[in-house]
Structure 1
């Protein structure tokens, strides 16, 4: 069989991406120097990364990137980067009792980081059990994966900018690409600059709270660590209790930045250009903000009425209960709706009604063009409008009723792609849930139906925490190796929006 895909070109450019990844490893190396920790882990990883990247580049010294090669490059890059990212975990855990010494556990943690999932297999998550440098690498992987590794490469590498539109289309979350400028490389730079700017502002605000005494344990290290994982909707924290380890002031500051992270970043560019009306008029943003408001009000009412006794003081007349109920409700809804995965309370201990509200939020997702995971708001809008059209045409068979969003007619090809994605997403989610239940039972690991459902949706939706033992302060450590491998696969295809990854497993992609 003659291959239609020049895989050597894709492998060579994957090598280039990996080689540049070595530069990012300088960040944890500097942290290791500051805290006088083991530097050899990151020196060795940098050397290995450069060597592997250089070796892969030799497959094709002058790669020609066409549409299929671009799709293969994106899929290969994301998986290979996760493999490289696991090296520091394995090296740091070698010869110790660390759970990350096992290669599958290390790959799980790395894939969860780069795909901004936030699920963890760490038994104990804090700088007391792991070095500051290793924990900062864990945080940094999410920041790199948030806006997209390939988008970053397009912004700085001219050889990738030639086919940048195809690369971003395969990597960026959402059903469509929105070019902000005629040159795609310039668009990539704008997106990364907006992303970087919000990160710096959040770090400054968090550390500012520490300086004025409103957040005693939010030192500069923690401010940077949480800045790195809020904007990418990642959810990793160097603290075992996530954001619950910090004051209410910290939690209120993080909430709007999580909302920002789930918003289409292109809208902020329009605001900077003096076009704020495009922000307010955006149909998807209005639906996103509306979903947050309605679900926050519902969950807040449940918490205030005492339906979630795990929160203790939220019992109606208790002083401060209304603020606490609103804060916990707003934080958890925003965090799970756009797939951040932070937590201010162990919602795995809440009552069933409150957990159902949170589970519903997990299925919604952020906006297209954001760093949020899930199905995405815009796809749900299209699905609902298609359903309404079908009901209308059932009563009026001869009617022609186009689907409109924001005053524009949605192309039927886009509608078909949205419906195909949604169906595949739900089918894979259901199949993975069944597999996880059967595989866990095989080794005697007991899972409730809600835990199994949440494990599946949390990994394919890049959300992170689930319910029960998989709650925000829990871990995926006890799952069998085979289930972890499946969840690694789910995180990978979930970040790439399923189809650009699954198409590689079809004969039609490779044949002439």
Structure 2
């Protein structure tokens, strides 16, 4: 049967999404009014995006989405969101020397924002180079993308909620969607309320530290800006030195919220209902927290031996089991394991052993149903159990050995899907690493193997910083446009867990 999605319905709903995205631009517009900068940029952006949204919505004012349309809509919605997000960057950079005046750079920064990757091509990040309003928009895009644009639309739009289950299955970060309430729209609202609640509490904690004199630099602007990028595991900061710009008290306060962001948000729903044992007994939660503890201990041991040089005001360590050593280890693992991407020291200058350990942590990822990126802990659990079963049944071919997770048998279709995803992830990661290495060599740029590997992994896994020049205080600006476009693609398919995007491409090609 030919694959014939209703493109008019998809385009109509994309217009609705654009219309509501234009509303979110009133947040940076308000900041622009307060600080008196870039007001026209966001006023024009709102008009342009809203007009385009209303126009596309008229293509099909009453869209009816089936499974094919849902898949196409989710795939294109994230691309359209990135294009919308790039509009203020291009307008703000027009007629200036800003790197964002280049549409490819603007799209890279926007895609990095909405997919919560945190990789940047901005060059110098400062209020002298970029306005408070533009930097707040950069932060806000990550918060919008954290819990999911489609989940938000399901929560607030009745016409989308009708097909909510199909849409959330395509967008949800992880191999399965846990329905918390009888109606999918109520589940979407519950997830967003938990997400909003944690964000509100986190902003309050950061600003309270400022009021108590423990965080002089953490004013209300910075508290809100970092509130928008921690819970979505985004990692953008309006400060060039990221969290290293702030006091040790702030750094300790950030760590638990980064860890929270990598937990399946459905578990918090059970905790709120008094079912704490659901979280405690969850195998993925135990594996996630266990991985953080093990990797933190490993990095702390390496730092104890002097794996990192003194970095002065960037919070480096010289060796020795001090509070700073423990804080650096806990922070970087809490940041990289679930793809947040914040930094308190330039780990790109640590020795090779410490960097390799961090690279392994980047492969782990957050939990399914969290805002974290990467492969996801539950997938690794299933892959390891499937490997163990294969080895076991090779020696005992007559034994039927199901894969169990948390005492429940994992469906064979789910196992196959997880194995396919993992293979695709590793394959794309490898191919992209080779392309980035060859493309930079063509331009006469020396890119080390670790830099090429980390660039591929950091964009596909929505992690952000890499190693070398791509470190937490570095930039992706030196890459060519073809390499940047490849990494934009990697961020896009990485956020959508690869399969939906490739499924649309393959179905479209094979149907011709």
Q: Offset of 1:85 from its aligned partner? A: 0.4
| Cross-structure match for 1:166 | 166
Alignment of 1:325-474 (within 5 A): 325-474=325-474
| Cross-structure match for 1:9 | 9
Distance in 2 of aligned mates of 1:204 and 1:215: 13
- Is residue 242–residue 343 contact of structure 1 (8 Å, CA) maintained in 2? yes
Distance in 1 of aligned mates of 2:38 and 2:455: 34
Distance in 2 of aligned mates of 1:507 and 1:346: 44
Gaps of 5+ in 2: none
| Cross-structure match for 1:200 | 200
Q: Offset of 1:444 from its aligned partner? A: 1.1
Q: Determine helix, strand or coil for the equivalent of 2:8.
A: helix
- Is residue 6–residue 69 contact of structure 1 (8 Å, CA) maintained in 2? yes
| Cross-structure match for 1:131 | 131
Distance in 2 of aligned mates of 1:54 and 1:509: 30
- Is residue 375–residue 422 contact of structure 1 (8 Å, CA) maintained in 2? yes
| Cross-structure match for 1:224 | 224
- What TM-score, normalized by structure 2, do the two folds share? 0.98
Residues 509, 369 of structure 1: alpha-carbon distance in 2 compared, 3 angstrom cutoff: farther
- Is residue 82–residue 107 contact of structure 1 (8 Å, CA) maintained in 2? yes
Distance in 1 of aligned mates of 2:220 and 2:210: 8
Distance in 2 of aligned mates of 1:463 and 1:56: 33
Q: Determine helix, strand or coil for the equivalent of 1:79.
A: helix
- Is residue 308–residue 319 contact of structure 2 (8 Å, CA) maintained in 1? no
| Cross-structure match for 1:140 | 140
Distance in 1 of aligned mates of 2:31 and 2:473: 26
Compare 219-228 and 321-330 and name the one that shifted more.
Answer: 321-330
**Which segments of structure 1 move beyond 6 Å, counting only runs of 4 or more?**
none
Distance in 2 of aligned mates of 1:137 and 1:508: 34
Q: Offset of 1:309 from its aligned partner? A: 2.4
Distance in 2 of aligned mates of 1:260 and 1:232: 10
Q: Offset of 1:127 from its aligned partner? A: 1.8
Alignment of 1:169-248 (within 5 A): 169-248=169-248
Map Cα deviations across residues 87-133 of structure 1 (whole Å, 9 max, x no partner).
00000000000000000000000000000000000110122210000
Distance in 2 of aligned mates of 1:395 and 1:220: 62
Compare 302-311 and 202-211 and name the one that shifted more.
Answer: 302-311
Distance in 2 of aligned mates of 1:316 and 1:432: 36
Residues 315, 139 of structure 1: alpha-carbon distance in 2 compared, 3 angstrom cutoff: closer
Note if 1:297 corresponds to 2:297. Answer: yes
Alignment of 1:266-305 (within 5 A): 266-305=266-305
Q: Offset of 1:446 from its aligned partner? A: 1.2
Note if 1:495 corresponds to 2:502. Answer: no
| Root mean square deviation of aligned Cα | 1.3
- Is residue 310–residue 318 contact of structure 2 (8 Å, CA) maintained in 1? no
Q: Offset of 1:54 from its aligned partner? A: 1.1
Distance in 1 of aligned mates of 2:342 and 2:415: 33
- Is residue 142–residue 232 contact of structure 2 (8 Å, CA) maintained in 1? yes
| Cross-structure match for 2:46 | 46
| Cross-structure match for 1:69 | 69
- Is residue 3–residue 507 contact of structure 2 (8 Å, CA) maintained in 1? no
| Cross-structure match for 2:27 | 27
Distance in 1 of aligned mates of 2:10 and 2:16: 10
Q: Offset of 1:461 from its aligned partner? A: 0.2
Distance in 1 of aligned mates of 2:42 and 2:70: 30
Q: Offset of 1:2 from its aligned partner? A: 6.3
Distance in 1 of aligned mates of 2:482 and 2:204: 42
Distance in 1 of aligned mates of 2:103 and 2:317: 43
Distance in 2 of aligned mates of 1:52 and 1:315: 55
Gaps of 5+ in 1: none
| Cross-structure match for 1:307 | 307
Residues 143, 510 of structure 1: alpha-carbon distance in 2 compared, 3 angstrom cutoff: farther
Q: Offset of 1:62 from its aligned partner? A: 2.1
| Cross-structure match for 1:154 | 154
Map Cα deviations across residues 211-256 of structure 1 (whole Å, 9 max, x no partner).
1110000000000000000000000000000000000000000000
- Is residue 458–residue 465 contact of structure 1 (8 Å, CA) maintained in 2? yes
| Cross-structure match for 1:57 | 57
Compare 330-339 and 121-130 and name the one that shifted more.
Answer: 121-130
Distance in 2 of aligned mates of 1:360 and 1:507: 34
